[in-house]
Amino acid sequence: MAIKHLRTLFASQLQPGQPAQVRPGEALSEPGGDYEALHKQMKRLFNSKPGKKYGRFSEDIGESPFSAWLKDYLEDRQSFTSLTDRIFGQWQELLNGSQEEHEGHLMLVHEALADGEIMYLLVLESDSALRFDGQQSLDTTDVLSLSRLNLAVRIELEDWQNDNPGENYLTLVHARGSGEPGELFIRLCGFTNQVDVEKETLTFMDAVEAFAKSSEPEEAGKIRARAYEFSKEQHALGEPVAIEALSGYLDEDQPQRFKEFASETAELPESGVLHPDHRKVKKLVRIAGSGGGMSVSFSSDLVNQAVYYDRDNDALTITRLPKALREQLQRYLESRDD
């Protein structure tokens, strides 16, 4: 079984200024079945979530004792039940002081995989659903949302605990609009942001673009497309982009070529890992823009082949129009002539 231990807490703070109401569940060992299915879906949401943040534990143990409690658990100085009792107790204390309403399930999962052990702390939300009760009267009920995940953290336990801890062993999902409960969740985790995703995205895109321009013209488009594909695949897995792995993906015959080029032309982190925003990386293969009642999008490979830009006149000429677009234009013009 992938799940070693799992426990949940229902927390409700609907009257700011009053103590939060909590209901902890039992600590479960290797629960399997539906719990595995639920966790698998939450991981899928976690991995696909855009805008994740990367960092490490805060060194302020007094403010954020989560890491110290977790270390005690991993070193067998306390049980999983004791660990979750402490975490759930602090979550209740934090919610007690919240001026915003909150309701949801806090779930801690210790997962063991072939390539390492991981801890997840997630806030599960609920959706309203209709049902027929025992008297066949229509009623509403709450069910776990399998499509939303706005607060969660993943801890790469081995990266954190080895002799030379990685720089970014925490991955945080902190969606916009999560408000004060979202900030309280960050305090609960003790998360400190260490990665400038925007800067690393630019570093990634600049390195790939420079490498593409330095290659043969017929290879440039393929390099951009493969770099985007690799970035997208890593995003789907919830993993960053390792430069060495990307280098081998871009050129199987000379797997070190891109790595050596990027090392000389770009400021790469010592870890050799980048965390690009895959949504922005798409600009490597798509050129798009909108405004003034117009929206244009096309593959970057078409520049100077089917799409020509006149800089002096700020004009765009498109040849080889898509069939559907051509037919729409013809119908529109014909109707205007009538």
pLDDT at 221: 86
pLDDT of 89 strictly over 60: yes
* pLDDT value, residue 220: 86
What percentage of the chain has pLDDT greater than the value 90? 51
Does the pLDDT value for residue 92 go beyond 90? yes
258-274: average pLDDT: 87
**Planar angle of CA 209, 219, 275, nearest 5 degrees:** 35
User: Cβ atoms within 10 A of the Cβ of 47, count?
Assistant: 17
Average pLDDT, the chain: 90
What residue ranges do the domains of the chain occupy? Answer: 3-193, 197-282
Q: What would the pLDDT profile of 105-143 be if each residue is shown by its tens digit? A: 999 999 999 888 999 999 999 998 998 988 898 989 889
Give the model's pLDDT for residue 291.
82
Which tens digit of pLDDT belongs to each residue from 134-192? 889 898 988 999 999 999 999 999 999 887 777 789 999 999 889 999 999 999 999 98
The beta strand positions in the chain, using DSSP E, are 3-13, 21-24, 28-29, 53-57, 102-113, 116-124, 126-132, 138-144, 151-156, 170-174, 191-193, 241-242, 273-274, 286-291, 294-299, 307-310, 315-318
